[in-house]
Structure 1
């Protein structure tokens, strides 16, 4: 990759997402001496990971640090506070990556100038290396830099490329926020089991295992979700009876469409 001990990869923010990515990179064999982590408040777990691999940690960016790649993994509301302090590390050819929702490319360009920027939208399954990250690169991002981005982000899951920055908000509504929808499905299924008469713990165990198992089956089979649904639905059987409710006019699809639209709307509001 294009970063080294002399021009390191700078991770700004080692919270859950940044930390998950760092763990993935270490597992993939990224040279720890070529990585610097900037975070004033490390968790005990992250502090242990850095010490285990001998990764350099700084509370703020030193004046003499010039990074090849900077990944900004802080909360959007901290951007105005954090970005000016990164200017010493960002040269004209530094690649800036952002995983912050609602922070447009223009925000980084206003601070750093017309440097290469990739705006990324990962999701929390990256914490178990089963995430998917959508990436929008600006026009000055080189092919070599795109390769670096793909290799880094693929350490925590799949990578897809976007044609326009506008698509980021749409991705946020589907995959960025999507894991919460699935978690809520498990909650709702568990509650339905309890309402049907199952003991609380058994209903929760059945619901969680079912959601996890169905997701893994979908992942491993490669079949379209509609095919998998049809495969488990016998004519006039119990599943068909349930699907008549779930696929009805007041079922899941109109609610899900409205939910994604609400998330997209909020993502656009955060960017304003």
Structure 2
């Protein structure tokens, strides 16, 4: 089923994530003429889009209610922006929020006109169309409104819908912060290579290519991660020797668990 894209979309905040999502929406066919962007420091790319029909930084008092209102500003800016935004919410408007730590209740309190709210947690690979977003809808969200949110979120990658908003903190710990863990793994591999005697530049290139290549293989394969690991591990070989360290009782799995728990605790603190 083809879902119609919104007749109007207001993006409040076009930083790294907001800008990445905008790129995705343009690629799936949302015309620039239907998009309004509010951003105090628009990028040159945003200025160029304004020449193609996108409305950039108009007076909010001149705007009609929007079909979709996307909140992508820094969370602490919501209180200041909310009074001007509330009048742009119509009876059928969908509020799509990627504000870290701001719950559906927080948004309803600041935007009393809002009935249909989707709280979403995308991640950085959205900037190349390979993100993953977890989303949860408010009680007032209709099936058609959820389909509209799905169409927009899937423009930057895959989407996982949650039934319980409290799980957003766990999502933040795994996929939201997860890219940083992978980047650090690449840093650690490169440093290990340098310590073992490789030239630093060679170690960096090997580490980057290994992490990105393994990630792409995982992306393209239908096999479980554990099966892929087993397929590259010969009994008594070098990989097996390395995995004895990584898979020890005090190895990578408990370290990653502690890492995710720390991120989840901090997410809860920011929400509280």
Q: Verify same fold: TM over 0.5.
A: yes
Partner of 1:165: 165
SS of structure 2 residue aligned to 1:70: strand
Distance 1:67 1:119 in 2: 18
Partner of 1:183: 183
Partner of 1:80: 79
Deviation, structure 1 residue 233: 0.3
Partner of 2:32: 32
Gap regions ≥5 residues in structure 1: none
Bigger Cα displacement from structure 2, 24-33 vs 182-191: 24-33
Distance 1:138 1:129 in 2: 26
SS of structure 2 residue aligned to 1:62: helix
RMSD: 1.3
- Matches for 1:134-149 after TM superposition, within 5 Å: 134-149=134-149
Q: Which runs of 4+ in 1 moved over 4 A?
A: none
Deviation, structure 1 residue 101: 1.1
Partner of 2:54: 55
- Matches for 1:86-105 after TM superposition, within 5 Å: 86-105=85-104
Distance 1:86 1:29 in 2: 25
Distance 1:16 1:170 in 2: 22
Distance 1:240 1:205 in 2: 24
Q: Name the TM-score, length of structure 2 as normaliser.
A: 0.95
1:166-191 CA distance string (max 9 Å, x none) = 01111000000000000000000000
Distance 2:81 2:204 in 1: 41
**21 and 205 in structure 1: CA distance in 2 versus 1, 3 angstrom threshold:** same
Partner of 1:111: 110
Deviation, structure 1 residue 203: 0.1
1:210-265 CA distance string (max 9 Å, x none) = 00000000000121100000000000100000001111122111110001001000
Q: Does 2:6 align with 1:3?
A: yes
Native 8 Å contact 1:105 1:117 kept in 2? yes
Deviation, structure 1 residue 48: 2.2
Q: Name the TM-score, length of structure 1 as normaliser.
A: 0.95
Native 8 Å contact 1:120 1:134 kept in 2? yes
- Matches for 1:18-29 after TM superposition, within 5 Å: 18-29=18-29
Distance 2:41 2:62 in 1: 20
Deviation, structure 1 residue 200: 0.2
Native 8 Å contact 1:63 1:89 kept in 2? no
